[in-house]
Chain A
Amino acid sequence: MANVNAPMAGKLISVDVKVGDTVKKNDPVATLEAMKMQIKVFAPADGKVAEIKAEAGANIDPSVVIMTLE
């Protein structure tokens, strides 16, 4: 079980995985825009996407959980 938090304050452009997808550590799972730069958010651990908690277009910061892995 691992939470994927936003790495920095910015706008969530898209979540690039679906619930049930299997991801490996360092796979890109979401795209964030900060300071006019698009940044990929990478999975912190191996796992399966359990729940997606943030929506594309939302403004997020490091306290926000984008998705949980199990």
Chain B
Amino acid sequence: MAVITNNDFLYNVFGGFTHFTWQSAVMILIGCILIYLGAAKDYEPLLLVPIGFGCILANLPLTELIHVPRDGYVFNHSIQEALGEAGLMPFVEGARVVNEGILDVLYNAGIANELFPCLLFIGIGAMTDFGPLLQNPRVMLLGGAGQFGIFLTLMLALAIGYEKLEAICIAIIGACDGPTSIFITSMFNPALLGPISVAAYSYMSLVPLIQPPVMKLCTTKKEREFIMSYEMLTPVTQRTKILFPIVVTIVTLLIAPSGGALMGTLMFGNFLRECGAVGRLVQAAENEIANITTLFLGLTVGATMTGEVFLTAKTLGIFALGFIAICGDTAFGVFGAKLMNLFSKQKINPLIGASGISAFPMSARVAQKVGNEANPQNYLLMHAMGVNTSGQIGSVLTASVMIAIIGALQTMGVDLTI
């Protein structure tokens, strides 16, 4: 009977309760909100539901499902046992030896090495039709203008005191592209994976709400009413569509080789689609592989959202800056389109500039809706689709270029962690 009344014993038997902190409670609540937003409100359910559940799992105490990306752990592999017995354990002072949890396995398999976002990109490439873009290739410039918000946010984040590599991860939310954000963050600052991917995916789903007011603010009614004819779209043959992904791969990777993982997989997926010979692979890429990866990615990213990382002022800052990034992208896109009109004979409606982000096809639909509201005779959808797909290229390109520049700085021996 002495054992039953022992406080230590009770403390350990009911460890789930005794280790429960207010942070656990808040994080579980946040997980539930994410699940609610996904499942009941239909905001990016494919991602927010697994992220929310992963968040709940990771914040229940003592589940030992995930330890990375935090420091202070050594995984208990047999090789380490052998080394330990020989007295050779390469032990970090104060590190805890733990068994690898199932979510550690997923994390190390696909997030630590950036594999999952790249697998998703094959699927995205296979789903994207660059036809409308190829019909009017000069709008590709707008896909670049739509990325200016990234740099605006980068400067803001640095100005208010975020570290360099943190600032990059936050700024990339402005790419409005989940996989790119996750790729960059796991590369430069994995501790921020949770807040950044949640911010990226929630703002992506809010694009139809965030963009219209910014678009209206940046244009006059007369500009919005401008009708774009479909005559400026010149037809493209299948051969051009097949050659396009190859050309993009070669050109962009010569300029920014370190973007190979992102651009290479995106364009590979698109080539599968356009070459027409591998229907089964296209099916697999856009269904099975994309679905499985989304599931693993969401669950694991959600599980990185532990209270000690998420419940900080930094997270609030990330959400605020991410919002600025997307508003900035929209405004810069619209002004980029106006700038193009100054130099070009064929005028375009500035609204389509706002679609130069990676949120596909939501952003093109927004341009169609806002344009159609201003003038019912105005059908911008196909033009906006072209800009929207160029926004996907633009965001991946910007990310690749940033990786290239940082890589160059690091090769030169510049320390970016201080």
State yes or no: do A and B touch (Cβ within 8 Å): yes
**Inside 8 A of B365's CB, which chain A residues have their CB?**
35, 37
Chain A nearest CB, measured from B246 CB (Å): 25
CB of B376 within 8 A of CB of A42, answer yes
CB of B377 within 8 A of CB of A9, answer no
From A44, which residue of chain B is reached at the shortest CB distance?
A: B377
CB of A37 within 8 A of CB of B230, answer no
Report how far A62 CA is from B232 CA in the complex, Å.
13
Chain B nearest CB, measured from A36 CB (Å): 7
From A27, which residue of chain B is reached at the shortest CB distance?
A: B376
Interface string of A1-41 (1 = CB under 8 A from B): 00000011100000000000000001000000011110110
Chain B nearest CB, measured from A13 CB (Å): 15
Chain B nearest CB, measured from A61 CB (Å): 9
CB of A26 within 8 A of CB of B376, answer yes
* Known contacts A8-B230, A62-B230, A35 near B361 by CB under 8 Å: yes
Chain B nearest CB, measured from A1 CB (Å): 18
* Known contacts A8-B230, A62-B230, A35 near B376 by CB under 8 Å: no
CB of A26 within 8 A of CB of B230, answer no
B residues 361-418 in Cβ contact with A at 8 Å: 361, 364-365, 368, 372, 376-377, 379, 381-382, 385
The interface on chain A, measured as residues whose beta carbon lies within 8 A of the other chain's beta carbons, has a size of 13
CB of B379 within 8 A of CB of A7, answer yes
**Inside 8 A of B379's CB, which chain A residues have their CB?**
7-8, 39
B residues 78-136 in Cβ contact with A at 8 Å: none
Report how far A35 CA is from B387 CA in the complex, Å.
14
Report how far A39 CA is from B376 CA in the complex, Å.
11
**Inside 8 A of A35's CB, which chain B residues have their CB?**
361, 364-365, 381-382, 385
Interface centre among A26, A40, A44, A62 (most CB of B within 10 A): A62
Chain B nearest CB, measured from A14 CB (Å): 17
* Known contacts A8-B230, A8-B382, A9-B382, A37 near B376 by CB under 8 Å: no
Report how far A40 CA is from B368 CA in the complex, Å.
11
**Inside 8 A of B368's CB, which chain A residues have their CB?**
37, 39
Report how far A46 CA is from B230 CA in the complex, Å.
23
**Inside 8 A of A42's CB, which chain B residues have their CB?**
376-377
Chain A nearest CB, measured from B147 CB (Å): 23
* Known contacts A8-B230, A26-B376, A62-B230, A39 near B381 by CB under 8 Å: yes
Chain B nearest CB, measured from A4 CB (Å): 11
Pick the residue among B364, B377, B381 that contacts A26 (CB under 8 A): B377
A residues bordering B, Cβ < 8 Å?
Answer: 7-9, 26, 34-37, 39-40, 42, 44, 62
B residues bordering A, Cβ < 8 Å?
Answer: 230, 361, 364-365, 368, 372, 376-377, 379, 381-382, 385
